[in-house]
Structure 1
Amino acid sequence: MKRNHRIVVAAVSAVAALALSACSTSAQTDTSKANLTFMTFETPALTASFWDSSIKAAQKEVPNVSVKKIVSPDADRNAYAKQLQASGQFPDVLSSINPKDFTSAGLLKPFDESWLKDNFLQPDANAIGGKTYIPPTNSQVLPLVFYNKALFEKAGVKVPTNYAEFTDAVAKLKASGVTPIELAGSDTWAASMPLVALASADVLGSDPDWIQKRYAGKVTFADPEFVAAMQKQVDLIKQGAYDPAALSTDFATANKNFLAGKAAMYIMGSWFTGSSYMTADQAKQYGAFPFPTDSGKVVIPFNMGGTTSVSAKSANVGDAAKFAQAWSLAPENLKVLIETDGAYPNMKNVKLSDFGASVSDLYTATYKYVTDDNEKVAAFGWVNNDNALAPGINDDFYALSQALFSNSDVQSQLQKLDSEWDAATKK
């Protein structure tokens, strides 16, 4: 699932005020049930109707709760949750937030460890300090490099197996008259996908413990290996890998551009294999490969996903936890995520075939990156476990993706990121 780009605080406050007003005027009055608020969000895959039906699915298992849906007005769900918390309206259940932004304040309740072990293949995959605040229901590879088979063939390009071949492919594609790489540059989380790929492949691929070393102060963003990884993005920009209008292109438009054949490659999360982004027939026209490293070593940026988190401050915390568990285990909920959002299931008692989900050949091909024995590292800036970045740093890292288009001084920008990290970890 996608997440987190910056928004103007004043705008969020205004929308939050409207949302809270709506809550106060339409609050549940059924005193026989526990009244819960559930903060959700909407995407092309996770529509309003999905959330409504998913809530009903969970309520079958927890009929004694009444659920009020609160929709985040923006992709930055963390910011919205913080606005609600500051207003004394922190939701009872929250969807797809970054737990590290809330655990230090004691705002989240961890899930029961026995329940995790009973239901998930990797029960500790989302653990933070030994506690899990988002169930590890499904996994993602992010990003992958999606490519248009016809445009590759026209330009005489083969799937690159190392970074030199990748930059050569960029040159050949540009010479053929097509934009080499599509970029949703106006949305920072989407614009950051090349940086996520580079940090995951080059930095974590060489040192999987790099993030823990950053917490310990043993490495910095301004160290040569991280600078070299980010410099590759500057080099790609200078090479003309992206459309000149990339920074004004939003996520929805970038998706359309790529599927319309206006670009040959698209660096995006594995959710792009879902039916809300492309049909099964369209998927036949595309392939995908992991972002290539200098040596050709295959590195898979891996994220264990999940949706529900529970407020430790809820007046009905027990019922909130039961609802969150029921939502996470409801087969119909995960089936929708598999089909529309390309989720790779991680359930212990339910196999992919058991869901009866219709998926494309592209989904099946990329799912092998999850099931195969290969080198998996944390998807930089996207995981929900101990390798999550310090609170607030995700947004700072995402914003770097836009800044590099106008400021190619990588060293100074990473020194600034170090300062932001240090400030965040000293709170």
Structure 2
Amino acid sequence: MKKKIAASLASVMAIATIAACGQPAENGASGGAKTDTPAAEKVKLSIWHNFSGDDLRAKAVRAQIDKFKAAHPEVELDAQAIPPDGYRQRLKTVAAADEMPDVFFAHSGSGIKEFHDGGLIQPITPLLTKYPDWKNNFTPGAFDPLSFNDQVYAVPINASVTSLFFYNKSLFDKHGVTVPKTWDELHTAIKAFKDKGITPISLGNKAAWLAQSSILSSLADRVTGSDWFLKAAKQEGAKFTDPEFVQALTLLKGLSDAGAFQQGFNSLDNTQMEQYFISGKAAMMIDGAWALTNMAATGTKEQLDQVEVAVLPSVPGGKGDPNTLSGGAGGGLAVNKKLTGKKLDAALELIYTVSGPEGMKAVAESNTIVNYKVDVDQSKVTSLFYKAYNLSKTVKFTPVYDAYLSSQGAEAINNGLQELLMGGKPEEIAKKLQDAQARSLGK
């Protein structure tokens, strides 16, 4: 097993060292710990997650964890909320040491696949079997990016919708600018707002993933179509140096060249970017569904009511469907492979508390789109969320790049886009991604 883990996580160990990050709390990792707990002794359980902020979704998830603690005095729960920007790196560090927490939030797609391939997690299928009504109420395909060999390893806490096109209707109306539906119209709007001294598009790409997840994933799909990307991700019949992908990068660079973004966008995080937009300093923003709960926590009703939401403008001659959003099922809580007995039972019950019907309703009413059929109380959500929620029901979803790329590939394109938006050459960025993805797959 150790050989299998070492082989599967070779790439992780190449970029993370054990000393780079603190180890899990003493009770957090189950390595070597006994799982047979005397009746009088509390079950010790750890959970790591990245719902650390003040947004409503994070508060909703943490509230469900607190409910589990209150309802289960027999469990001594060590819950660690880790900021999202450093979360993946900390998981990679403990994964390389085979010292994972008992329960942890795993990103869907390639994120959870690394832990599965490393033999670090176990199926939660028995939990779904125990609660069939709960299982059957998830939307079609919700488990796909969290399943392997017909076994489910996590259920999505929320949907991953990454490319919502937000625009301030009041600013558009005030300055007589047409809301863009095509790429040419987008550039016309950019110039109009630039001439008025208003930032056209708010961007915060400090953590590097934002431009990739929210803009490139959707823009590139408009140009190449989804089939091309899935082939390129597997390095089977397509390469990231192909002309269509270079064209997508060129279109993205064109936004920066046109002065679409505010100064210092590579030094701002997504929360700062969202605050900049909701305060009326920018006319547009391309962001994920997480912005709905973030802006609901900071924006006034007046500010939220003037924001509209749509899909990214279409690209002339593109091979992809323009009526799409990049996204799909989000991540969920996974269970350490080493857990057995009462500790495993407690872990599964914790997952059900967070991700069960009550938890799903709480997350949805925190202004978060979920992969679960739930009746949202419109009085408990913002008007902006309700617009996005309804929009998500009318479109198709296309792949998010970092859900299918290897860790090396995702890192290459994330860093590459920071370079691209500061004047880098599209062909060079494409080659860096191609080399990294091919190398990670041994091709």
Shorter-chain TM-score category? 0.7 to 0.9
Of 129-138 and 261-270, the range deviating more from structure 2: 129-138
Secondary structure of 2:429's aligned partner = helix
Equivalent-residue separation in structure 1 for 2:326 and 2:431 (angstroms): 24
Partner of 1:121: 139
Could you tell me which of 195, 205, 208 is aligned with 1:175? 195
Secondary structure of 1:326's aligned partner = helix
Partner of 2:260: 241
Structure 1 residues 90-129: aligned runs within 5 Å: 90-97=100-107, 98-112=111-125, 114=129, 115=132, 117-122=135-140, 123-129=142-148
Letter in 2 for 1:322: E
2:369 matched to 1:351? no
Letter in 2 for 1:196: S
Partner of 2:339: 314
Aligned-pair distance for 1:92?
0.9
Note closer, same or farther for the CA distance 1:251–1:34 as it changes in structure 2 (3 Å cut): same
Structure 1 residues 174-213: aligned runs within 5 Å: 174-192=194-212, 193-203=214-224, 206-208=225-227, 210-213=229-232
Could you tell me which of 89, 99, 110 is aligned with 1:89? 99
Secondary structure of 1:276's aligned partner = helix
Partner of 1:323: 350
Aligned-pair distance for 1:365?
1.2
Letter in 2 for 1:188: A
Equivalent-residue separation in structure 1 for 2:59 and 2:244 (angstroms): 45
Structure 1 residues 285-296: aligned runs within 5 Å: 285-295=306-316
Equivalent-residue separation in structure 1 for 2:269 and 2:327 (angstroms): 25
2:325 matched to 1:304? no
Equivalent-residue separation in structure 1 for 2:86 and 2:160 (angstroms): 19
2:387 matched to 1:371? no
Structure 1 residues 15-54: aligned runs within 5 Å: 15-17=21-23, 20=25, 32-41=41-50, 42-45=52-55, 50=60, 52-54=62-64
Partner of 1:385: none
Could you tell me which of 366, 379, 398 is aligned with 2:414? 398
Secondary structure of 1:76's aligned partner = helix
2:424 matched to 1:408? yes
Secondary structure of 1:157's aligned partner = coil
Would the aligned equivalents of 1:156 and 1:172 in 2 still touch at CA under 8 Å?
A: no
1:17-51 deviations in whole A, cap 9, x for unaligned?
Answer: 4x547969xx9999633321100221231688655
Equivalent-residue separation in structure 1 for 2:265 and 2:216 (angstroms): 15
Secondary structure of 2:380's aligned partner = coil
Would the aligned equivalents of 1:101 and 1:392 in 2 still touch at CA under 8 Å?
A: no
Aligned-pair distance for 1:61?
7.0
Partner of 1:253: 272
Partner of 1:3: none
Note closer, same or farther for the CA distance 1:65–1:47 as it changes in structure 2 (3 Å cut): same
Equivalent-residue separation in structure 2 for 1:357 and 1:49 (angstroms): 18
Equivalent-residue separation in structure 1 for 2:173 and 2:379 (angstroms): 32
Partner of 2:184: 164
1:122-144 deviations in whole A, cap 9, x for unaligned?
Answer: 25343444443331343242111
- The TM-score with structure 1 as length reference comes to 0.83
Of 417-426 and 57-66, the range deviating more from structure 2: 57-66
Of 398-407 and 317-326, the range deviating more from structure 2: 317-326
2:160 matched to 1:136? no
Aligned-pair distance for 1:105?
0.6
How well do the aligned residues superpose, as a CA RMSD in angstroms? 3.3
Aligned-pair distance for 1:90?
0.6
1:276-327 deviations in whole A, cap 9, x for unaligned?
Answer: 2434432101111111122483222232124311122335344323322332
Note closer, same or farther for the CA distance 1:82–1:187 as it changes in structure 2 (3 Å cut): closer
Aligned-pair distance for 1:70?
2.2
1:234-253 deviations in whole A, cap 9, x for unaligned?
Answer: 11111111123222223332
Letter in 2 for 1:370: S
Secondary structure of 1:294's aligned partner = coil
1:340-378 deviations in whole A, cap 9, x for unaligned?
Answer: 3x3223325x4334xx87111211111122222x33212
Would the aligned equivalents of 2:28 and 2:101 in 1 still touch at CA under 8 Å?
A: no
Note closer, same or farther for the CA distance 1:336–1:209 as it changes in structure 2 (3 Å cut): farther
Aligned-pair distance for 1:231?
0.9
Note closer, same or farther for the CA distance 1:43–1:398 as it changes in structure 2 (3 Å cut): farther
Equivalent-residue separation in structure 2 for 1:127 and 1:93 (angstroms): 15
Letter in 2 for 1:298: N
Q: Structure 1 stretches of 5 or more lacking a match?
A: 1-5, 383-387
Letter in 2 for 1:418: Q
Would the aligned equivalents of 2:16 and 2:93 in 1 still touch at CA under 8 Å?
A: no
Secondary structure of 1:352's aligned partner = coil
1:70-125 deviations in whole A, cap 9, x for unaligned?
Answer: 23255232211122234453111112432123221121223316457434122534
Structure with the larger helix share: 2
